[in-house]
A and B are shown apart, each in its own frame.
Chain A
Amino acid sequence: LSVAYKKDEL
């Protein structure tokens, strides 16, 4: 469902 990523959003 979601691409593994660093949480870079506020």
Chain B
Amino acid sequence: MNIFRLCGDMSHLAAIIILLLKMWKTRSVAGISGKSQILFATVFTARYLDLFTSFISIYNTCMKVFFIGTVYFTIYLIYMKFKATYDSNHDSFRVEFLIVPVGGLAFLVNHEFAPLEIIWTFSIYLESVAILPQLFMISKTGEAETITSHYLFALGSYRALYLCNWIYRYYAEGFFDLIAVVAGVVQTILYCDFFYLYITKVMKGKKISLPA
């Protein structure tokens, strides 16, 4: 464990807590993409299959349980409890255009042609594009609530911090995973225009409103 990865995990944790707080306090899921949450649930389920078979540390197990539990709770809030506030018209990204290519790529490009490894690779590739329905929804509605902007900033920062973690681990431990790094770079790049909007607008107390 290193400071970059710890900050990354804390940023990821903060993003999930911000999202849950937004939903619970406002009792609304307006502006939140249910499809992205479903993709995240798929990512966590596929990645944490070894939750019960390989024990890394208490921290690792607790975080995995928390991530899986909260993402399914988020889906419950969106599609059941606060269903009336779910904006399905604007959450119209065709996720099959993500899942099929990502699934195919996981078969072709992986570290080892073994079921668990291919599923893990699928979860890494899927995570890099899982935020697209959410960003697409914001571009369609033309604006994002400030709390949603904080959620996205924390979520985008988590993988950017992981990139720093991989740089550190490469020099400190000789650890290197090309698949995770490339997917992490793609994932972070997808947030760049949002980061720009966040830093130039939200930090100055304005709302994010994309030119509709």
CB interface residues, A 1-10, toward B, < 8 Å: 1-3, 5-10
Q: How many residues of B contact A (CB 8 A)?
A: 22
Verify B56–A8 contact, CB threshold 8 A. Answer: yes
Known contacts A1-B111, A2-B111; is-contact A10 B175 (Cβ 8 Å): no
Pick the interface stretch among B25-33, B72-80, B93-101, B176-184: B176-184
Interface string of B66-92 (1 = CB under 8 A from A): 010000000000000000000000000
Verify A6–B60 contact, CB threshold 8 A. Answer: no
Query: Is chain A's binding surface mostly helix, strand, loop or mixed?
Result: loop
Verify A9–B120 contact, CB threshold 8 A. Answer: no
Known contacts A1-B111, A2-B111; is-contact A10 B64 (Cβ 8 Å): yes
Known contacts A1-B111, A2-B111; is-contact A7 B176 (Cβ 8 Å): no
Task: Select one of A2, A6, A8, A9 contacting B179, CB under 8 A.
Answer: A2
Known contacts A1-B111, A2-B111; is-contact A7 B178 (Cβ 8 Å): no
Verify A5–B56 contact, CB threshold 8 A. Answer: no
Chain B minimum-CB-distance residue to A9: B5
Besides A1-B111, A6-B54, 7 other A-B contacts (C-beta < 8 A): A1-B176, A2-B179, A3-B174, A3-B175, A3-B176, A10-B9, A10-B64
